[in-house]
Structure 1
């Protein structure tokens, strides 16, 4: 009986080991040295495109002087996100916005800073002592695939690290492939598609470490993981334990 029990214990050990996912396959930037890293390559600032929404406010030392340049009075105070969406300039199919008094202005392909500087020059022709404030309102990213909360998510700042972006979607599920995260990004030249390896310690120096507005992340399914999305991660293990327990009881019965 002792030999039979020992044999099943060994079998149980290997079954548990086979059902476990190596920690190295779930550790972000595995093997990275704990030190201060110099700033890696930062992607160019987001370039405004068609259908983007811009909130533009002209501020003057006398708010009444700038009323004719604003969709919302400059002395109104802080506006909520929903308010901003109602008073934005939408970039049309030609890449233009129509700004009060200043007329049609082409902004597609420009960064928010470049648009602000351009408007400041134009406004200075009409008013002294002004400041132009420009904000990209619809800063969203889309995270799909093997994450807890797939869908479109708001960006709280101009760019996020890829880990912050995945965090907005609840992180990767037990079935996600950490080595194959597809990034789709709109560029002036067209759509850029690349794969990101979250386990690589070199990721911190990658030009894709930062995520920009309108980026799409797709976490692929790890085909090596057993089971399906509708089965709990440890179902296979529990089934194996049940089979082994039954086998032990049967063996014990015949030994007696």
Structure 2
């Protein structure tokens, strides 16, 4: 009878201490001795979307025109009037409206939606050649941001100056996942104009590099889900924990006396 009781107590201690093994490695199915070279199929560069705030810098051999463009003024109901369009001078940046247009001096409304920065620069340069001598256009995002929340060390919203960031870089900015973060089940939420997409990514799998969601777009949200151990820890009642600890202490004392 004594040995049955001992075996029962040992079993309780064993199962109380056991938990399912966790895979904390990224790209775990990439073999160490293998060099993998693949063509990059998913597009990395972000495209201009309604609501983006752009910095458009124009340089040419016409200094007066350069100043006009590089104010980067936003349209408003009152202020200086240039070619029929009013601007407020103290606010920098060109806002992309709901239809995908920006309003520029001389050119007026220009459609830039779904253009990459390089495509927008080429388009604007070609249009300005009619009015400026040897124009050079530089386009940058002013409000490109991604948000990383959940089981990471520094959840926050991060500004990305060049508009180019992938999910690993975003996790790096957030201090990487905690040990409780489910690497096999990371949620990315993406909104584009009138559509919201949600996808779960497995960062244990190297094939994630081919996903169209590997490279993040402006305003993407990355949510790292906690594992079961964190859920139990968060929902545990301190009173219940005290009772369990007390019971385990009693069982330990009984076991030591029996032995």
1:249 correspondence with 2:238: no
Q: CA 1:65/1:225 → structure 2, altered by over 3 Å: closer, same or farther? A: closer
8 Å contact kept, 2:186–2:201: yes
Check whether the contact 2:151–2:178 (CA below 8 A) recurs between aligned residues.
yes
Unaligned runs of 5+ in 1: 73-84
What CA RMSD, in Å, does the superposition of the two structures yield over aligned residues? Answer: 3.4
The equivalent of 2:97 in structure 1 is: 92
Among 155, 164, 172, the residue aligned to 2:160: 155
Q: Contact 2:140–2:162 at 8 Å: present in 1 too?
A: no
2:53 matched to which residue of 1? 53
1:175 Cα offset (Å): 3.6
Match of 1:217 among 195, 206, 222: 222
For residues 44 and 17 of structure 1, the distance between their equivalents in structure 2, rounded to whole angstroms, comes to 42
Distance 1:139 1:146 in 2: 23
What residue number does 1:190 align with?
195
Structure-2 separation of matches of 1:148 and 1:231: 22
Q: Is the 8 A contact 1:109 1:188 kept in 2?
A: no
- Superposed CA offset, 1:76-130 (max 9, x none): xxxxxxxxx9410011233221111221212223222222111101211122222
Q: Which residue of 1 aligns with 2:18?
A: 17
Quick one: distance in 2 between partners of 1:226 and 1:220?
10
Does the CA contact (< 8 Å) of 1:120 and 1:131 recur in 2? yes
Cross-structure match for 1:29: 27
Q: Distance in 2 between matches of 1:158 and 1:66?
A: 24
Per-residue CA deviations over 1:230-252 (Å, capped at 9, x if unaligned) read 669xx97x987764443232344
Q: Is the 8 A contact 1:40 1:206 kept in 2?
A: no
Are the aligned partners of 1:15 and 1:240 in contact in 2 as well (CA < 8 Å)? no
Please report how far the alpha carbon of residue 134 of structure 1 lies from its aligned counterpart in structure 2 after TM superposition: 0.7
Q: Are 1:208 and 2:213 counterparts?
A: yes
* Residue deviations 1:185-217 (CA, integer Å, cap 9, x gap): 234783322211111232223332222222122
**Are the counterparts in 2 of residues 112 and 134 from structure 1 also a CA contact under 8 Å?**
yes
* Structure 2 alignment gaps of length 5 or more: 73-89
Matched, 1:110 2:110: no
Map of 2:87 onto structure 1:
none
Contact 1:186/1:192 (8 A) holds in 2:
yes
Q: Distance in 2 between matches of 1:198 and 1:44?
A: 18
Q: Superposition pairs for residues 116-135 of structure 1, below 5 Å? A: 116-135=121-140
